[in-house]
Chain A
Amino acid sequence: MALRALVGVKRVIDYAVKIRVKPDKTGVVTDGVKHSMNPFCEIAVEEAVRLKEKKIVSEIIVVSCGPQQCQETIRTALAMGADRGIHVDVSGKDYESLGPFQVSKILAALAKKENVNLVLLGKQAIDDDCNQTGQMTAAVLDWPQGTFASEVKVEGEKLKVVREIDGGLETISIKLPAVVTADLRLNEPRYATLPNIMKAKKKKIETVKPEDLGITLTSRVQILSVEEPPQRQAGLKVETTEDLVTKLKEVGRI
């Protein structure tokens, strides 16, 4: 059976950037800061493309929720091999309060509308560090979930998913349609080549509003403040291993 895949991608501050908290404690500085695709989303896109190359997936629809700039993130996914994009336009106040709760409803609505049978997401976004959207999307759809996947195999009407759990690995078998969230070790995402970036410009990105999907973006979770974490005090350099052991004994750690 050929699967139709929906892949969610998020535009976040680049993972290598040292973030700065705004002086008014309302959030972190995002203006003029380098953004890119959330690393876990890249892995989800790569997995979808590999499944397409194996002729298991017939079409990859990539979706991102947020302001206009999300289209660049969608283009990146298109350059990696996704077929078409959907930009769910959310901006201003709605974007500030946009979280997994809202995104999961949007993704579930799109999964139904586009008649997909596999939703692939990253296990977490490196900005909010929530690790919720995939699980919540699966719940809204009443589909099974294969979270923290490090291996995905299609076996007939089922997916065999190897999951990264605390003590090691776990294998589960889930019925399709299903939601899978990618862990770091699922694959190594490819770089988009220049010809593919050019080709991606011709691929279609459809823009929709949450209202078009019948979703109202209310939030009952409010951010009261965003602050710097306590800074550690500058430490001491020791000269020899012996000094190190002595110091650790002095402070009672060994």
Chain B
Amino acid sequence: MLRIVSARSLSRGATSLLQRFQSTLVIAEHDNEKLIPITLNAISAAKRLGGEVSCLVAGTNCSKVAGELSKVQGVAKIFVAQHEAYKGFLPEELTPLILATQKQFNFTHICAGASAFGKGLLPRVAAKLDVAPVSDIIEIKSSDTFVRTIYAGNALCTVKCDEPVKVFSVRGTSFEAAPVSGGNASSQEAPPPSPAGLSEWVEQNLTKSDRPELTSAKVVVSGGRGLKSGENFKLLYDLADLLNAAVGASRAAVDAGFVPNDMQIGQTGKIVAPELYIAVGISGAIQHLAGMKDSKTIVAINKDPEAPIFQVADFGLVADLFKAIPEMVDILKKK
């Protein structure tokens, strides 16, 4: 009993010491060519913790990305793990690498962006470290206290995490991107891989688009069931092109097959917070609002004046979208 007590007070002493010597490992997300922007938001979050920030780059081709990262402001060290085993960035292969890196350097925090990559990987890492992870944080109050949303963004939950290692994913739209110049990080090789061989990457079918990427676009034009067909989405593409906007969709539009599901915005799709969000023919269900209600300015165009979307819209136009959108395109073309 006595031993337990003394161990506890010891660990309490150690905690205050740790606050001064924090170190965070950010798992970089990339495609072997370039860094995925959400990594820069995760780096900003990591910087908020106060300690040293390191980045781990694992993949089949890391040199370009490591070069990019070395210039990012606030990154002190980069660990590079280049190996065929990391093809497809499978969590079964990346987890042992992260554990080995953690064993060597004893980070107090491990984080990544809350993208499909980060969400798939971090809980696996946390379970292996026998700690409870924290998902999709929107604010860091202190080194152990985080804010996240629950119930589709309808409540803010502040959690205190007393785990020896804090493993968390970062909502990209809640933290600024770290500047991509002015940094001068040193680079070193990460521990060698120990291929798990449980899984294999087969293929990818990415939606190709010339428009800006949805989660980081400054303007998003989004369509719902009101568009009636996939062809009609062309109206939104025309408008988006004039505004240099990305195009999103509600679940109804995805389920009806109008657009692919990687365009879905909402609780179970992507979370966006652009400067301008234009919701066209979207009623504004709880699950959709979860993905866009932190946008700076929200515009709703809907023919139903009772649509819940009008309760969150800064500017609402009650009109038939098939008339309003072409009109808007004309006006914008004239200016």
Contact = CB atoms under 8 A, between A and B. Distances in A.
A192 interface: no
B8 interface: no
B317 A126 contact: no
28 contacts: A129-B135, A129-B136, A129-B152, A138-B124, A147-B120, A165-B204, A166-B115, A168-B260, A169-B205, A170-B205, A171-B203, A172-B88, A172-B200, A173-B200, A175-B198, A221-B132, A222-B160, A224-B160, A226-B150, A232-B311, A232-B312, A235-B313, A241-B317, A241-B324, A241-B327, A241-B328, A242-B327, A247-B315
A137 B128 CA distance: 10
A148 B155 contact: no
Contacts of B204: 165, 167-171
Contact of A139 (B124, B154, B157, B160): B124
Interface string B102-121: 00000000000001110111
Contacts of A71: none
B88 A170 contact: yes
Nearest to B145: A224
Contacts of B251: 184
A147 B215 CA distance: 21
A138 B199 CA distance: 12
B159 A135 contact: no
A253 B132 contact: no
Contacts of B120: 135, 145, 147-148
B161 A220 contact: yes
Contacts of A184: 251, 255, 261, 268
Residues of B contacting A: mostly:
mixed
B179 to A, nearest CB: 23
B261 A104 contact: no
B206 A228 contact: no
Contacts of B297: 248, 251, 253
B163 A131 contact: no
B92 A166 contact: no
Nearest to B268: A184
A212 interface: no
B221 to A, nearest CB: 11
B316 interface: yes
B59 interface: no
Contacts of A243: 317
A167 B199 contact: no
A1 interface: no
Contacts of A130: 135
Contacts of B299: 244, 248
B243 interface: yes
A227 B158 CA distance: 8
Given A237-B316, A238-B316, A144 B268 contact: no
Contacts of A124: 268
Contacts of A150: 261
A129 B267 contact: yes
A229 B156 contact: yes
Interface stretch (A11-19, A51-59, A79-87, A109-117): A11-19
B240 interface: no
B315 A244 contact: yes
A172 B115 contact: no
Interface pairs A-B: 5 shortest CB-CB: A139-B127, A135-B123, A101-B132, A136-B127, A132-B123
Interface string B147-185: 011111111111111110000000000000000000000
A175 B197 CA distance: 9
A28 B243 contact: no
Question: Which of A127, A132, A251 has the most chain B CB atoms inside 10 A of its CB?
Answer: A132
B95 interface: yes
A89 interface: no
